[in-house]
Chain A
């Protein structure tokens, strides 16, 4: 009897140990699989993209259909124009709301707005494109840089609101109280003491939001629309790097495919650079805080 119990105990223990060991392997393989996908994508980008990159890509306009050569200078410029417009829309709105939420808002109202920003964050990007189309392209009767910038800017609002609120809240209350004790009005305290203290984090939030919209294509399809030349005014259709990558990727021409890869490398390089730059702001802020 005792031996039987002993045996069954041994068997269970063995089974549990095998189970434990094999789960470690399975979970590890999951992680390896995800890394494999990432490196596969990066590898193709580097091999196909870098070999297709040359100086012409940055300095020339696209050639006529079927002709090889040319570049995406217009799209690179267009993307910068669109991002500047997006910043003009997204930063004041997001920062303003962030300051209000952290410094003034009542609990209930703040919670509602936070919830709405989260909801807004989850709205599919193409819906912002359609919205910008209906309020901007339809009345103006033309695709334009403005409508594209508007669509991207709206997408930035929820992200900037949340991050700036967080970082402004992190400013120690003593700083505010010291300012108020000196008789400075609250709005000066916020603008001259609170904001400069939180600026590193706020900038990081802005840059991260910028990196996210820089690669967006869907909101631009029916707003910025794309343009094979430079746009000469903000009320004209304008080219954008992600749009051009999309157009070239689904085209039937080998040379355009090559350029799509090159465009993708430039685009992802841009997105990563903005992200790294964003981290720099946090780092500099931390240095400042610890040096204090």
Chain B
């Protein structure tokens, strides 16, 4: 490739505009969000993140209830989805016959392709009635001594949103963990078998401990996904500014407050407070993603998809 025509140089320069503009774009999103949230940043400073008042009428804004809501729903969602997701991944990678594994993987991909508004629709008409009639009364009756399962039962609320989120992130956890598990060299497993271990012992002692960094990466990736999920959560979390220990309580997340109130924001300060929430969301998602990529790259050796060449 030593030949360098003028036309080649021009072509190369023109083409270089595209990747450079991707870099500029990411930086531009950041600056644009900062720029438009300046009124709110100036007025509330860092206290924005630690105040629990959200009062559009007196224009006093603090994002703590939403940060709380996002943390609670994401945490509970991970608590539910990680064991099941990793379980399915192990089943697919180690136990299932090849054909069964292929069919189930396909179906899991299908689950990942469902738009979040459809999850929300299903949430409103199937999940919330189930929560209201069956699950929450059951939890209240047998686990009501825990503060998480007390208080009035509306159906909508943190718990409904958490369960919804756990369903949405399951496909991610399954497919990434499966990739990580498959990347564990089979020699290690075979050595364990040769020492007389059962299949499960080989998996729990060798495969999982070898792949734990990658699985952690998958979990963090799923966390990023859960933090950024908007529609399905907005539709069933109940949209209420409240910090409560009870998972039955209606609440708000960072993403859902933007979705729900942005169109009503009539003053500059209100609008910039909501944009500042978007800024928080942007920064958190970047940190989470960078963390996840580093972990996954360190296991699959610079992204398995890239290793094609």
Contact = CB atoms under 8 A, between A and B. Distances in A.
B111 A37 contact: yes
A34 interface: yes
- Which of the four size classes fits the interface of chain A? 35 or more
A31 B18 CA distance: 42
A45 B91 contact: no
Chief secondary structure at chain B's binding surface: helix
Interface string B279-300: 0011001101110110000000
B22 interface: yes
Interface stretch (A50-58, A111-119, A283-291): A111-119
Interface string B76-98: 00000001100110111001100
Interface in B1-52: 1, 3-5, 7-8, 11-12, 15-19, 21-23, 25-26, 29, 32-33, 35-36
A130 B278 contact: yes
B115 interface: yes
Interface string B88-112: 1011100110000000100110110
Interface stretch (A64-72, A80-88, A227-235, A268-276): A268-276
A100 B19 contact: yes
A263 to B, nearest CB: 9
B57 interface: no
Nearest to A37: B167
Given A169-B309, A217-B116, A157 B22 contact: yes
Interface stretch (B147-155, B184-192, B244-252, B255-263): B255-263
Contacts of A40: 122, 126
Interface in B101-134: 104, 107-108, 110-111, 113-122, 124-126
A154 interface: yes
A158 B23 CA distance: 11
B26 A217 contact: no
Given A120-B22, A215-B115, A27 B88 contact: yes
Nearest to B83: A30
B259 A218 contact: yes
Given A134-B32, A215-B115, A185 B18 contact: no
Contacts of A104: 12, 15-16
Nearest to A27: B91
B288 A122 contact: yes
A105 B19 contact: yes
A211 B111 contact: no
B15 A122 contact: no
7 contacts: A16-B201, A115-B293, A120-B25, A127-B285, A180-B1, A215-B115, A242-B117
